Amino acid sequence: MTYRLLPDGNGKRGDKEVDVQRYLLGLVLSTWVLSSLTACQPQPNTLTFHADDGDKRRYQVYSDFTVNADSGDEQHFRQTLLLEYQVQADDDYQIQVRPRYMALNSNGRQFSSTDGDQGADRYARDFVEQGLTLTVDADSGAVSDLQFHADLPSDKPTPEKLLALFRDNLIATPTVGQGIKLERGASQPFHISDQLPELTLTVQQVFEHEVVFTASGEHEQQQLFAIIVSDRDSGWLKRGSLVSKRVREQQQIRTVMSIFQADSGYAMNLDSLARAENIPLYDSLSVEKVLQSDSADAEHMLPSASGRLEKLDTTLLLSYSHQAPFSHHNGRIELDNIELFDKNGAPLPLAIQPLESMTVPDYGNEYRNDGSNNAITLTELLPLGWHDKALMPLYAFSDDGESPSGYATATVNWYPSHSEVKTLTLGDDVTDFNIGRARIEAKPNSDDGGYDVLVQSSREHQLILVSDGISGKFNYRRLDTAPSWISDAEARLMAMLVNDWFPMDYHIRLDDPKQQQLKIAIVSSAEQAADSREVKFEVKRD
């Protein structure tokens, strides 16, 4: 399971109050245009941006902002946003941006778009509801205008200052990456402003549909490093992350901002990634169990027409219980056609954004008598807009506690997997295996006679070390090109962004060194659903 980062900051503010609304606006403005990697008219073999009139995209944006003062005080902000972009293509690009969902924690103070009128002033609510429009010059790719649709009070930043903020921030600059050659190692300088470091953009990988590049630079007061993955054909951003370290006025300011596509199941959980090392190798994934995972069928994976609906801090969660025969690699489950109803069966006027479904072991009820596993598929829903009142009918019980609450319905689709086991013969040099963008690279470790193995899976092909005949541990891998000042957690997040899957560094020992063989499982999911079922998700009272 990928655990999403929920606000839980615990920093100290000292004797000053945090201006939550001003911070919120600044953070929104310094992240949202990361998705607008704009360019001039397309040229062969360069990264270019083009969008159709009416093109609409959504992104999740995560921000982690820490200020450490020399006095020992700490301020800590964590924020989650869902941003919606809609393009009007004319002589110039008019890109309308609306924050549809947000959750902010500033030193323990919770603030979210599900707070209704209680958690923010009218200005912040209007900003979230109405959004803003950015004008991008179609020829130069420059930001030429910024228009807010909400009235700005006199004590808030002026549009001129906010426009300057876009121009002075790396990931708020739509022209980043414009014209860079689509070949590995290609680079170009990138100037933001006199106050910020000169940057170098460098292409790291060019795939069939994606291009991966980094941006890096530093001076005495600030260091910046970013990784960005863009669609090769359109220039639209797909995912990315920026880390900034700045020293100013007896303070050290560290900012981590990451962006994912709207339905991504990943989140920026730096706390968890900091501990992602020295993990024991899962020792029960034998060849037999890998092959038995293909025995999953609709009876196992779609056993019931009922599920559970829960309310988390600021989101909703749909849970669906099922079997996972003999292993947890039984294809994937996806939900669509999700609808919400009140207790009387009337549709709720609440727009939602479902995230990627995750299937995990049902801990506490994990194993069945036949040796197969109980599993649970979790789908988180982000409520869009600013209206907690729309959620209330879902949980409106009568005084007797027996009347039904609201509920959700959805189509649950099962995509089966196919598994095969391949044996790699290990030699005295590097042994590698590739399938699409997934790869394994194994080399001897002269210190103890074991092997160091890189395992890089992809969305299309998951690669797993079969436990037969080996033992060992693994770490989540750092991005190779990340500078030394980037933390382990930040570098592991960036490494995931390259292939949209976490790479792993294993150190293993063979039970019988004479065999010099390593078995790997290749697990691939079908592109088409094999079966589906209509499911009703209800609020369960424990």
Q: Which residue has the higher pLDDT, 237 or 121?
A: 237
Domain with CATH 2.60.40 in the chain: 302-416+528-539
Q: Can you tell me the distance from the alpha carbon of 171 to that of 505, in angstroms, rounded to the nearest whole number?
A: 30
pLDDT digits (tens, 9 = 90+) for 307-361: 999 988 889 999 999 887 555 568 889 999 999 998 889 998 889 999 999 988 7
Q: How wide is the angle at C-alpha 286 spanned by C-alphas 280 and 292, nearest 5°?
A: 130
Contact 272, 3 (CB under 8 A): yes
Two tokens, residue 190: 């990138």
One-letter-per-residue 3-state SS of 481-533:
CCCCCCCHHHHHHHHHHHHCCCCEEEEEEECCCCCCEEEEEEEEECCCCCEEE
Domain with CATH 2.30.230 in the chain: 20-268
Average pLDDT of 206-215? 93
pLDDT band at residue 213, thresholds of 50, 70 and 90? very high
Lowest mean pLDDT among 281-295, 495-509, 519-533: 281-295
SS3 at position 273: helix
Contact 417, 363 (CB under 8 A): no
Supply the pLDDT for residue 32.
Answer: 42
Protein fold of 20-268:
Lipovitellin-phosvitin complex; beta-sheet shell regions (2.30.230)
Supply the pLDDT for residue 233.
Answer: 87
CA–CA distances in Å: residue 461 to residues 203, 250, 456, 464, 527: 24, 49, 9, 10, 12
Query: How much is the pTM?
Result: 0.85
Supply the pLDDT for residue 223.
Answer: 94
Q: Which residue has the higher pLDDT, 235 or 536?
A: 536
Q: According to CATH, what is the number of the domain 302-416+528-539?
A: 2.60.40
Shortest CA distance to 23 belongs to which of 102, 131, 101, 94?
Answer: 102
Q: Is the pLDDT of residue 238 over 90?
A: no
Supply the pLDDT for residue 441.
Answer: 96
Q: Which residue has the tokens 């429009």?
A: 133
Q: Which residue has the higher pLDDT, 45 or 42?
A: 45
Q: Is the pLDDT of residue 164 over 80?
A: no
Q: Is the pLDDT of residue 162 over 60?
A: no
Shortest CA distance to 223 belongs to which of 248, 202, 205?
Answer: 248
